[in-house]
Amino acid sequence: MKDMKNYHFTIDEMHEALINIKKQINKTEWFPEQILSVNRGGCVPGVYLSHAINVPHKVLDVQLRYDNNNPNLEVLRKSIISSSNILIIDDINDTGATFEFIKKSYDSRVTNIRYAALIDNISSSFKVNFRGKKIDKSLDSTWIIFPWEKEMG
């Protein structure tokens, strides 16, 4: 089996991706009142973006990659009740499974939620509203390592 290539996404690339997301949001008539970042990968970009656009930030505990069979969606439920517009952000929209899971967890009549990813795999089953950078994993399956995933030595 051939070794998978790795790509180390930098803090500077994260800043650039967040600037792109912010510009995309500003081009719409929709603006978030609250940011929910998907634990763990969405936390760092979520906090950065919440400071950049001056809106509150909370963490949504959904970690499907780690077989978390009991995701805590209470934060999402409370946010839907208390906020008009909610932005859910993650580091990558890879397969789309996490965003799909979140979307299926609330009533389809809720229309005030938008999705953002630093990196959006355009061959994903889920389509985000805002992206920092796009990739196509059907053409290049390079594994992306974010700064917060690097081992500390």
Q: Per-domain residue ranges for the chain? A: 6-147
The architecture (CATH level 2) of 6-147 comes to 3-Layer(aba) Sandwich (3.40)
Q: Global pTM?
A: 0.88
- Please say whether the dihedral angle defined by the alpha carbons of residues 29, 34, 35 and 36, taken in this order, is positive or negative: negative
Q: Which helix (H) or strand (E) holds 48?
A: helix 43-53
pLDDT bracket for residue 65 (50, 70, 90) = low
pLDDT, the chain, mean? 89
pLDDT digits (tens, 9 = 90+) for 19-48: 999 999 999 999 999 999 998 899 999 999
